[in-house]
Amino acid sequence: MSDDARRTEYISPFSARYASLEMSYLFSAHHKITLFRKLWIALAQAQQKLGLPIKNSQIAAMKKAAAEIDFAKVREYEKKFRHDVMAHIHAFGDLCPTAKPIIHLGATSTYVTDNGDLIQMKEALQLLHRKLIHILRLLATFAKTHARSPCLGFTHYQSAQPTTIGKRATLWLQDFYLDAQEWERLASQLPFLGAKGATGTQSSFLSLFKGDVNKVIKLEALIAKDFGFTKVLSISGQTYSRKLDLNILNALESFAASAHKMATDIRLLSHDGELAEGFGKTQVGSSAMPYKRNPIYSERICGIARFVMSLAQNPAYTLATQWLERTLDDSSNKRLAIPEAFLGADAILNLTAHLLSSLTASPQTALSRLQEQIPQLAMENILMAAVNKGGDRQALHEKLRKISSAAQKKGDPLKFLLAEIEKDSDFGLKRQEIKPLLSIPSLIGRAEGQTIAFLKEEINPYLSKRKKGPFPPVEI
């Protein structure tokens, strides 16, 4: 293809704009084929160790040629064979001709494709988890800073009992914490396919080892250990169960939903001036309206999160339509859905790190909005106090509903509220008993205490056991 033609090629926004180089490389053709070759080398080494006549010189030749990938030659072979793995076998064999006769010995294509996919996904989960740990630290700091900063709470996006800015941040933090635990579990427990053969029976390997079952079992364990896997699937068809893909993409979908929820909250609160994204000195908010400061990173997180969530349907369909020991219609779908889901999750993490590192709260704005609503917000506290004095909960609830409605039409709603409650003997409350119920500390309940306890008892112990590594720099 000419240079002019290449300039017209479609380039994924993930690789060009959103995802990190680290994640892009994990799903690159170069890394994929490098894994193929490492798997072939590991297979040959294990076979040699277990007694097959494979020479040290053959393994050395494979290792020497492993990093040299001629993609033009691969394309020529694939055009000839119409088989991608056979194309790579021949291209690799051309680079180490003495080893060519033993490359892929006893294996079927999924030995490299499926084990390679599992290695890629494990590496990608570990990269995502390291980034998510950074997000947890940022959010924990924000929550602690604003643990006692009161703000208006919302249910149904209508004014509700007050909370604090920090307590609200713990709602986001808790979701991400659950995601981090799940990613860590999946990465640590992800099994290796091993060397199963064409239909999962290991018949070809039994033949190579002249019926020695123990050697066949040892073969898989040796290879799995080379790639950091402690468990090998005991049962498979030609492929590993696509349930594994489904579980992993469900976990990425869950994280995307967590990020979408947080970013949506930030967008809503940005409108009211309670939160604000960082804004660069030369940043432009709108090409038409110079004064605009749009929450662009939160919006971008939401957009990419919706895409990642949509991808989680693909492995469910693939799992459901795997005929018998395997069909080939899963390959094309997996090549699209799995990398894009990981690249999407990576992009969300990059954006979230940037967003949280410059997110600012305006406690005074939040307090002002809260104070406007205090007469209405105190209703539940007043109801509880009156019930404690022997009042009828249902009857008093109806009276407070009517008083609240009337107060909203008065010039001084607080004064009206106090007078109406005090003069009604059913409440049994004096003004000096009512006023403390209108104080902000009495309205926010355990918001501050819950925030501090959550950080101390759950988040901090979890983070203290995980390394604090640098977040890979990403252009945003």
367, 441 Cβ separation under 8 angstroms: no
Euclidean distance between the first and the last CA atom of the chain, given in angstroms as a whole number: 31
HSE (side-chain half, CA atoms, 13 Å) at 273: 8
Which residues does 4 contact at the CB level (< 8 Å), separation at least 6? none
What is the β-pairing status of strands 150-155 and 158-164? antiparallel
Q: Identify which of 137, 468, 182 has the alpha carbon closest to the alpha carbon of residue 345.
A: 182
Q: Are 148 and 114 in contact (CB under 8 A)?
A: no
CB atoms within 10 A of CB 356: 22
In the DSSP assignment, the letter for residue 272 is: T
- CA dist 315 → 113, 333, 371, 445 (Å): 16, 8, 50, 44
Tokens of residue 360, six digits = 């600012």
CA distances from residue 9 to 3, 6, 51, 450 in whole angstroms, order as listed? 10, 5, 49, 53
195: which DSSP letter?
S
Tell me which residues are annotated as active site. Answer: 156, 286
**Do 215 and 50 meet the contact criterion of CB atoms below 8 Å apart?**
yes
Kindly tell me the burial class for residue 324, based on how many C-beta atoms sit within 10 Å of its own C-beta (0-12, 13-18, 19 or more): exposed
- DSSP lists the bridge partners of residue 360 as 276
* Tally of CB atoms within 10 A around 72: 8
Residue with tokens 């950091």: 228
- Residue keyed to tokens 């509880």: 384
- Amino acid in position 298: S
